[in-house]
Chains A and B, each alone.
Chain A
């Protein structure tokens, strides 16, 4: 699986959009970008994934650059409960292999 690079930490004001970047310059053509988050002392939670088109669901939006070498997860209206570590993971579509976690970005939403 391709390696990803994320900032170590970010702050965001409550109610504002949180934009979390991820670099994955070695991504291959059949690899997807997945985002998970881990709230303190809980298991990771799936957020969203995409291949090349931008994606949106009830939790977030995923913007993938045209060259697919980077992406941005957008939480449109961050709340205090969005404070967590966010992991960007690149992997093939087959879901039967384990996820490999990097260090992620620690997002702190501030009141």
Chain B
């Protein structure tokens, strides 16, 4: 069964509104989680690293004020897309390192398809 749960699976929002995406590790604690974005027919691009108890680390070119990340607990990280615009429409995916679960492979959420209209 899934070990990383992401919610919602899809969301449609109006331009200018904010959308929150949740990522939960179900049976292990994750002090670190990763957020990716994937545009159609492209590969996953790392957006940021979410750290429990400290600020997120953003990749170059990713606006930290637009993509707010909060690692509220050892099992929950949230990504909030603020003042969303149509160009933010994408597939957002979170991941937790397997190290916390005694594995070396990473576990991924189901992804969230965001459509901004």
Q: Using a CB–CB distance below 8 Å, which chain A residues touch chain B?
A: 32, 34, 38, 41-46, 49, 87, 93-104
B34 contacts A by Cβ under 8 Å = yes
Contact B44 A44 (CB under 8 A): yes
When distances are taken between beta carbons in the complex, the residues of chain B under 8 Å from A100 are 46
Q: Identify 16 new A-B residue pairs, CB closer than 8 A, beyond the known A44-B93, A97-B97, A99-B34.
A: A32-B104, A38-B44, A41-B111, A41-B113, A42-B111, A43-B110, A44-B108, A45-B108, A95-B97, A98-B46, A100-B46, A101-B36, A101-B45, A102-B43, A103-B43, A104-B43
Total B residues in contact with A, Cβ cutoff 8 Å? 26
Interface residues, chain B, with chain A CB atoms under 8 Å away: 4, 6, 32, 34, 36, 43-46, 49, 91, 93, 95, 97-99, 103-111, 113
What's the minimum C-beta distance from A44 to chain B, rounded to whole angstroms? Answer: 5
Instruction: For the complex formed, measure the closest distance between the CB of A37 and the CB atoms of chain B, giving whole angstroms.
Output: 11
- A-B pairs with CB below 8 Å: how many? 58
Residues of B within 8 A of A38 (CB): 44
A43 touches B108 (CB 8 A): yes
> Contact between A95 and B99 (Cβ–Cβ < 8 Å)?
yes
Residue of A whose beta carbon sits closest to that of B99: A95
Which B residues touch A103, using CB under 8 A?
A: 43
CA distance A42 to B105 in the complex (A): 17
Residues from chain A with a CB closer than 8 A to the CB of B104 are: 32, 49, 93-95
Residues of A within 8 A of B6 (CB): 43
Across the two chains, which residue of chain A brings its CB closest to B110? A43
